[in-house]
Chain A
Amino acid sequence: MRRLMPFLLTIAATAAATWAVATLLLNISQRKQEGAYQYLRLVEITEETIDPSLWGRNFPRAYEGYLRTSDTVRTRYGGSEAFSKLDTDPAWKRLFSGYAFGVDYREERGHAFSLEDQKTTLRTSQFKQPGACLQCHAGGMKQVYESVGGGDLQKGFELVCAMPLDTAWKYVSHPIACTDCHNPADMKLRITRPGFLNAIKLVKAREGIPNYDPNTMATRQEMRTFVCGQCHVEYYFKGEGKIVTYPWHNGLTMDGAEAYYDSVGFKDWTHKETGAPMLKAQHPEFELWNQGIHARSGVACADCHMPYMREGAAKITDHHIRSPLLNVSRACLPCHHFPEQEMLARAEAIQSRTIALLDRGEIAVLALCDAILAAMRRGATEQELAGPRALHRKAQWRLDYISAENSSGFHAPQEAARILAEAIDYARQGQLQAELIRPSGLSVK
């Protein structure tokens, strides 16, 4: 037995080493296959395939990321949990008085909840809303519009916009889905929302490009922003038909949108306290980003919010769409060669400064409300109140534009600061005007 031991040990050692080499061989082989990036077409994907889980069978990596948009994680100033902003910042209850947002204004969650959250908000259960809302909240709207419109996207869009929301809901069953951004035939990016198609035409026409169609004329990198810009924009429901319209007639700036609303005499609601004709900003991410340095440098939404990632040797686009601040390494560091902590600190410095201005803006607009209320108590006439009310509209539109925009100023820091500075200035101007109307103890004509 003693003489056998060296042999047995040799066999055991060789076996272990062979095991290790075979394992390494399989690992190398697997990496090589991943590097070749192949995908298995297990199911046929067509225009009728709305359910993302079916797309997920062919594209499991992208689908796994998509499913993770249901997570709830906070950054310093943003988040994705369900809570009411009216509870955390009660000033907005008053700023939105007389409007549905004054009743329910919740933190937005990930794409996975886009349809569900629309159904649970008090803004749709306590108030009558049109089918227009659906354009951005459900998956497969292109297919819905085309079937309702008898093959005509625009016609179906107009018909669904005018429907009651409860009726429109019956056509849909999924939140934002693969088919909304990808062509099922070749997975190329595509624009499916008529609101964006109509509005980008206006923007490009101003640049001297008539009849612009992003689906045939946009570059790949432009599409990596446009697909997001379909919904992450400022909009209103135009006229009796409630057509979803983006106010890009004078360009993509805050001032351009305001000039458009003024020119058509639009107001979202009348402020219950001051009687001012108000505008509600939606979430102009695409517009504000357009004013910033990242847009200027050719960086697309997807570069930061869906950065390339690696699984094994395969390079894929991260479909777990989220704040880049939760993913600084992959989101920022490919371009910015600094430590993660440094990049996070830069972003948070911008956001802290924006939030500080925003807080001052809220105080200023509330002071304006108080001044108008006091003037009304002193018996101010409608004519005398017109000036302060117009300034209330201007100031709060600016304040809300940055408050509702989902980056706490990061998408264009200087533009955000400029807009908030104007908000504060207009609010204080309005306050001064209101205070000069029949000052207490004096009789003014």
Chain B
Amino acid sequence: MRSSSWLRWVSAVGFGVFVGLSLFTFHFAEGLSYLSNDPAACKNCHIMNEQFDSWVKSSHHTVASCNDCHVPATFPDKYFVKAENGWHHSRAFTLQNFHEPIRIRPTNLQELQHNCIRCHSIMVGDIAAHRDVEDMQARCTECHRSAGHLTTN
């Protein structure tokens, strides 16, 4: 009986250390910033430095930040995509096993295209329903490559 109460304290202290360390790690990794729209959060891991630098010089930087093009605009889809991408990014960056130069995934490409059309619907409404656009055969960024961020090292 006495030994189990001693263990209860050890567990409690141990759990407290775990929670504290986890919170500190989250803070140290600037975890909260990922819930924001701040483009600087995307280059926390430094792999996005070039993308960030070129976005600063792009035609879109006064009207659209990373999230405007890369994640859905509405709740809760926005945070679902953020969480999913965040998981992939942090796993890849921690384990260091990803393609170089980094490449956008097909699902994210679809999201991107959707966001182009979302803002420019009045202008592209007539062509957005075209089959090639629907099938992702004709993508906005194929031709308008420098609109967001064109990196050449």
Q: Which residues of A contact B (CB under 8 A)?
A: 3-4, 7-8, 10-11, 14-15, 17-18, 21-22, 24-25, 27-29, 31, 34-35, 303, 307-310, 312-313, 315, 329-330, 333-335, 337
Contact = CB atoms under 8 A, between A and B. Distances in A.
B94 A27 contact: yes
B7 A7 contact: yes
Contacts of B3: 4
B7 A307 contact: no
A7 B11 contact: yes
A25 B21 contact: yes
Given A3-B4, A15-B14, A333 B21 contact: no
Contacts of B46: 31, 34-35, 313, 315
A18 B7 contact: no
B29 A308 contact: no
B59 interface: no
Name A's interface SS: helix
Nearest to A14: B14
B83 interface: no
B108 interface: no
B7 A334 contact: no
B153 A334 contact: yes
Contact of A31 (B17, B24, B25, B93): B93
B96 A28 contact: no
Contacts of A308: 153
Interface in B89-132: 93-94, 96, 99-101
Interface string B39-68: 000000111010000000000000000000
Contact of B101 (A18, A31, A303, A330): A330
A322 B3 CA distance: 66
Interface in B1-54: 3-4, 7-8, 10-11, 14-15, 17-18, 21-22, 24-25, 28-29, 45-47, 49
Contacts of B145: 337
A329 B24 contact: no
A24 B25 contact: yes
A25 B27 CA distance: 10
A334 B100 CA distance: 9
B85 interface: no
A303 B7 contact: no
A221 to B, nearest CB: 10
Given A313-B93, A334-B101, 13 more contacts: A7-B4, A10-B11, A11-B11, A14-B14, A18-B17, A21-B18, A21-B21, A24-B94, A25-B25, A310-B47, A313-B47, A329-B100, A329-B101
A18 B7 CA distance: 17
Contacts of A334: 101, 151-153
B7 A8 contact: yes
Closest 7 CB pairs of A and B: A35-B46, A7-B7, A313-B46, A25-B25, A18-B18, A14-B14, A334-B101
Contact of B152 (A31, A310, A312, A335): A335
A318 B66 CA distance: 29
